[in-house]
């Protein structure tokens, strides 16, 4: 085995939907820390999760998350510390959405699910399988025969369908389908507040890619391996008063202790062994985000990346009038209003052409652009670590591909 680190280019042409790439500075620091963390003689993955060193990393990671959520001074840090808890559980998004109904079962009422894609559908199905009292408030596939976007109507009226809701569940960004809530999510948050209903959100694939108002949410959960880290850990941000209500009402007997939010939070995320390498990776990512100006700066870059790619795809879409008919090869299934900035999903006019594009893209170093196996097509993921230069080079490749047809 080699004792030296391999070289890594400054720009990575990897567009996978998760696990996703990490910023080069994070990878390099992580590599050093796996070998020897802060000159302690052992690596970050070898230290006890109950050691002072590990506890310090947990505390620092939590603090950096809260700093990011201040939205560059909109909220005071002490205010967020007072109102929200931050903790971590082993697992990923599936663990996360499975834990949600079980932790909320002790509250009076039912859960309402807004189904906008594959992951929110799976979340609802799992809640039903676990025996929780849940209902579908809206299913985009049922309404449109395919997942094309999110609910467009009056959220207040939608929530009035059920008079005993305790929470509304959404997946903010559907990685499989390329669907992301737009600014109308604020209307949903207001409707939830007006009805005294908690908004529970899976942010696994767009967490810290854009500014949010944490006070819009009762609980946020996010698997780490897309925008903020590597697989093995899930982030939870929950209202303190909601956790208090759950504790006061008693734990659901079907809730595994490993998924018990209050138990984990009360034990500083260390009731069982927290994976220190994924946790430390999160913290390195958060440190870099803060050093680079916070979420707003990252959001500006993400908007530019997505806008540039969508602009070119629109140019060559079947609806375009800008190019010759033979060059109109792109088909969108997602409503333009809800196009994801993280996962750009589209089809080409034939399966043969999609396979040709994916093959030539890989041959030219543009990796992981095939769509999810359940829907096919092409998927280009533009998570935080994907550099603008990589997107611009992919655009050039795509235009050359079209011009050869």
Query: Where are the strands (E) in 278-339, listed by range?
Result: 330-331
Q: Which residue has the higher pLDDT, 251 or 187?
A: 187
The pLDDT score that the predictor gives to residue 93 is 94
The pLDDT score that the predictor gives to residue 397 is 98
Mean local confidence (pLDDT), 228-238:
97
Residue 383 burial class via C-beta count within 10 angstroms: exposed 0-12, middle 13-18, buried 19 and up: buried
pLDDT band at residue 7 using 50, 70 and 90 as cut-offs: confident
- How would you classify the pairing of strands 134-139 and 110-115? parallel
Q: What is the maximum span of the chain, computed from C-alpha positions, in angstroms? A: 66
**Two tokens, residue 399:** 């235009």
pLDDT of residue 145 exceeding 90, the answer is yes
The pLDDT score that the predictor gives to residue 4 is 82
pLDDT of residue 220 exceeding 90, the answer is yes
Query: For 315-340, how does the pLDDT look when each residue is reduced to its tens digit (9 = 90+)?
Result: 999 999 999 999 999 999 999 999 99
pLDDT of residue 178 exceeding 90, the answer is yes
DSSP structure string for 149-178 = ----S-HHHHHTT-SSEEEEEEESEETTTT
Share of the chain above pLDDT 70, in %: 100
Angstrom distance (rounded) from CA 344 to CA 368: 12
The pLDDT score that the predictor gives to residue 176 is 97
Side-chain-side CA neighbours of residue 22 (13 Å): 24
Mean local confidence (pLDDT), 367-382:
95
User: 7 Cβ partners below 8 Å, 6+ apart?
Assistant: none
Q: Provide φ and ψ at 345, rounded to 5°.
A: -115, 130
pLDDT of residue 3 exceeding 80, the answer is no
Which of 403, 241, 229 lies closest to 323, judged by CA?
403
**Two tokens, residue 273:** 């062994």
Mean local confidence (pLDDT), 257-266:
96
CATH architecture for segment(s) 295-403 = Alpha-Beta Complex (3.90)
- Provide the residue ranges of all domains of the chain, joining segments of one domain with +: 52-291, 295-403
pTM: 0.97
- Please check whether the domain covering 52-291 is classified as CATH 3.40.640.10: yes
Angstrom distance (rounded) from CA 239 to CA 215: 9
The pLDDT score that the predictor gives to residue 323 is 96
Chain-wide mean pLDDT for the chain? Answer: 96
Structural contact between residues 337 and 343, judged by C-beta atoms closer than 8 angstroms: no
pLDDT band at residue 98 using 50, 70 and 90 as cut-offs: very high
The pLDDT score that the predictor gives to residue 57 is 97
The pLDDT score that the predictor gives to residue 2 is 72
The pLDDT score that the predictor gives to residue 253 is 87
Mean local confidence (pLDDT), 19-42:
96
């Amino acid at each position: 085995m080699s004792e030296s680190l391999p070289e890594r280019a400054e720009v990575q042409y990897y567009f996978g939907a998760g696990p996703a790439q990490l910023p080069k500075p994070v990878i390099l620091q992580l590599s050093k820390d796996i070998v020897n963390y802060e000159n302690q003689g052992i690596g970050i993955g070898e230290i006890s999760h109950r050691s002072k060193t590990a506890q310090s990393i947990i505390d620092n990671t939590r603090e950096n998350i809260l700093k990011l959520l201040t939205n560059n001074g909109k909220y005071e840090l002490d205010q967020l510390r007072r109102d929200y808890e931050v903790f971590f559980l082993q697992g990923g998004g599936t663990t996360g959405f499975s834990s949600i109904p079980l932790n909320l079962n002790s509250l009076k009422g039912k859960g309402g699910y807004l189904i906008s894609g594959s992951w929110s559908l799976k979340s609802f199905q799992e809640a039903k399988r676990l025996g929780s009292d849940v209902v579908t408030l809206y299913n985009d596939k049922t309404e449109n025969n395919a997942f094309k976007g999110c609910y467009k109507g009056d959220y207040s009226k939608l929530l009035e369908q059920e008079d005993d809701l305790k929470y509304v569940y959404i997946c903010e960004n559907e990685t499989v389908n390329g669907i992301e809530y737009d600014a109308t999510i604020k209307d949903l948050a207001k409707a939830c507040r007006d009805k005294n209903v908690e908004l529970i959100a899976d942010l696994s694939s767009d967490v810290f890619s854009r500014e949010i108002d944490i006070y819009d949410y009762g609980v946020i959960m996010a698997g780490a391996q897309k925008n903020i880290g590597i697989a093995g850990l899930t982030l939870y941000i929950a209202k303190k008063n909601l956790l208090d209500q759950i504790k006061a009402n008693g734990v659901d007997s079907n809730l595994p202790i490993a998924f018990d939010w209050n138990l984990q939070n009360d034990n500083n995320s260390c009731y069982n062994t927290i994976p220190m390498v994924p946790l430390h990776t999160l913290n390195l990512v958060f440190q870099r985000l803060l050093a680079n100006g916070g979420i707003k700066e990252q959001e500006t870059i993400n908007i530019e990346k997505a806008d540039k790619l969508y602009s070119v795809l629109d140019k060559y879409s079947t609806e375009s009038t800008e190019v010759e008919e033979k060059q109109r090869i792109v088909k969108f299934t997602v409503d333009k209003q809800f196009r994801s900035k993280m996962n750009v999903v589209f089809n080409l006019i034939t399966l043969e052409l999609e396979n040709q594009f994916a093959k030539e893209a890989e041959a030219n170093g543009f990796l992981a652009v095939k769509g999810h196996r359940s829907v096919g097509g092409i998927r280009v993921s533009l998570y935080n670590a994907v550099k603008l230069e990589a997107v611009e080079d992919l655009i050039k490749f795509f235009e050359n591909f079209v011009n050869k047809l």
